[in-house]
Amino acid sequence: MLTATNGRGHVVKRPSKPAIGTMLANLRRGNDHMVLARTATELCQTKTVSQEKVMHALLNWASDKPNWHGGFMRTNIGITLTPDA
């Protein structure tokens, strides 16, 4: 299941494209990141760069399209998650 969580901890389960866009547009100080998680172990995290570019990448990632990260530098954030028991 896809979930979106913002920097304030607001979680949206199965977010629509407009919901992802709204969360991205609302990024600012105190709410400076959002995390999309497709499963409990696979994450896509972003900080604001160009909202249009980030929105395109997030929607492609959420749709599981290949090369969704084109033009972005990827950094392993060293998080290993385990599914909830």
Q: What is the pLDDT of residue 85?
A: 45
Residues 6 or more apart from 48 whose CB is under 8 A from it? 24, 27, 32, 54
Sheet containing strand 33-39, edge to edge, reads 11-13, 3-6, 33-39, 42-47
Q: What DSSP state is assigned to residue 10?
A: -
Dihedral sign, Cα of residue 81, residue 33, residue 51, residue 27: positive
pTM here? 0.54
DSSP conformation letters of 2-34:
-EEEETT--EEES--HHHHHHHHHT-BTTB-EE
pLDDT in tens, 25-51: 888 888 888 888 876 555 666 565 677
